[in-house]
Every structure is written in C-alpha cells, then in structure tokens.
Copies of this chain bind each other. A is one copy, B any other.
C-alpha cells in the first residue's frame, strides 16, 4: 500500500516499519486487517504506530479498493418511534452482530427530517458505505429512490414498492394478523375493531388485510380506526375514537404492542376492564407486551433474526449476488392475559 503524501509531515508505513523493525509488507498486512501477522510483530507495530503517530489512510485505500467495509443502517423513523419501538433496537443489534461476524462496520444513519434525508442520500452516494440496510421505508421514499439510482447493494426489512433491485426480508404480516384475529374471534367476541397504524407501509396495510380476511362477512369498516404511527399515543387516541363511535366494542386488534398499550390505557380511563369487558391483542411481542397490565396477547416478531437476515442479504449483494431475493420469516401467536 502506498499512501499519497497529503500533508508533508504525515507518518508513513515506511516510518512504522523502520520503528518496528519489520518489513513494510508486514505493516501493510497489519493495517489491512490480515490475520497472518505474528503476535510479536503485531505488538511491535502497535507500539511503533503509537510512537510515530501513523494514521492508516483508509480513504486512500478505499479509493483504490472501492470498498469501505462499512454498511449503512437507515433508521427511517420520526423521533418518538425510535424510542418507543423496541423492535428497531433488536433488528439493529441483530444486523450489527451479523455484520461484525463478517468484519464489516455498521453505521446507523438517522433520517428524522427532510434535511436528514437529503444529507443521508448524499452520504450514500459518497462511497462511505458498500451497501445499506433499510427498515421501515415508506412508499416513494426519497432514500429508496437514491439507492435505486445508485444501484447501491441494499436489503430492506419490509418490502416497500419501488425498490426493485434490492433484496428483502419480511415477516408474514397478513397471515399473522389473520391468525391472531381468528383467535380473538374464538374467545367469543362479537364486535371486534382494529386500530390500524401506518397504512402507508406494507406492514400496516398487510395487517389490516389479515384482520379483514379473518372476519370475513363480519368485517365492519366503521370498527377500523386508522392512526398514523405505531405508537402508544396513537393507540390511546385510536381507542378513544373507537369507543366514541362504537360503545359496544368488545374486542380490539391493535397493530402493534405500543398501540395496544395505549389502547389499554384509554380503556382503563373509560372504565372498561381488560380482558373482562374488552379483549385486546397486539403485534410484535416487544418489551411493551410483558410490561403492560394485563400482559398482552400478541404476535411474536423475530426481530433479531430480521436484522441478521438483512445483513446476510446485503453482504450477498455486495459480493455480487443478484438482487430480488425475498426471505419471509414466520411469526407465532403468544397468548397472555389481555384477551
């Protein structure tokens, strides 16, 4: 490796080699993360690097290799969700562990505002990452458009429309929603409503479709309350609206556990007992499910595996595999006290 002399005084591989008493090739192997450097040489090189103040010039190396060994992880969530949705944390840590195993650095990029989105798009086009994992993309998302335009290797958690060249890992939202709604019907509820969050995402619209399928002819669209986000406050507001419109409601499918926790709070405030008066079920089996009183019956989402599969898919794409792979992970129904 040759380091361009960016600043006259910058220490070079040559300086390190001389100080450590090893060859330049050995220093290069060390700097490039090669495992075949003896422990003795490694120690001498580390001491020499500290002494001469050498900084490995990854920018220069990347320019030659056209590789950064880094993968972006885009969190595409407004403020409150990043904090309220524990699944994102699990997905993120699952992806980080799998990328770490493959010696890739994960860099999480937050797209919170329009300004963030523009800047993230610039960052993606700047060679800082070899690929990207994207969660919770919406239809016509500007970052999805940039990823498509750059043909950047990408793996989505979820399957937004318009992302044709990427790979995808999804859960069976429709089948899982159908299964938990059917189970709620079996408990004898007659007037079952849904707090339907995030209908602009595949997850949200598929959960509503599953709910509708399970109810069949008993489906009544006045018992569906659309809310913008998978959040506690959206659940509380949605439940209040359903109660105002249909006071005889006796069952609720909330589109996520945070939404269900908000619904339980609104029911308590209105003097309705859960599950005696109204049965409530959620979706995710996140930390919310076990902490809500009563504990939520819900759908267990394999969040860490979603992250790990997304990592595997993006590494495959970086390695040259074609896009368009789709992996679907199954969920299971978990029955607790809320219904």
Contact = CB atoms under 8 A, between A and B. Distances in A.
B83 A287 contact: yes
A243 interface: no
Interface string A90-116: 101100110010010111111011011
A125 B56 contact: yes
Contact of A127 (B7, B57, B79, B291): B57
Interface residues of A, number: 54
A8 interface: no
Contacts of A108: 107-110
A66 B92 CA distance: 30
Interface in A41-100: 50, 55-60, 62-64, 66, 68, 70, 72, 79, 82-84, 86, 89-90, 92-93, 96-97, 100
Contacts of A222: none
A81 to B, nearest CB: 10
A92 B106 contact: no
Given A84-B287, A86-B83, A58 B109 contact: no
Given A59-B63, A119-B105, A68 B128 contact: yes
A215 interface: no
Q: In the assembly, how many copies of this chain are there?
A: 2
A150 B49 CA distance: 10
A59 B112 contact: no
B68 A93 contact: no
A127 B4 CA distance: 14
B96 A116 contact: yes
B66 A63 contact: no
28 contacts: A6-B63, A33-B122, A55-B125, A55-B127, A56-B126, A57-B127, A58-B126, A58-B127, A58-B128, A59-B68, A59-B128, A60-B63, A62-B126, A63-B63, A70-B128, A72-B107, A83-B86, A93-B110, A96-B110, A96-B112, A97-B113, A100-B113, A103-B119, A105-B119, A105-B122, A106-B109, A107-B109, A108-B110
Given A55-B125, A70-B123, 16 more contacts: A56-B122, A58-B127, A59-B128, A82-B89, A82-B93, A83-B93, A93-B112, A97-B113, A100-B116, A100-B119, A103-B119, A105-B120, A106-B109, A107-B108, A107-B109, A108-B110
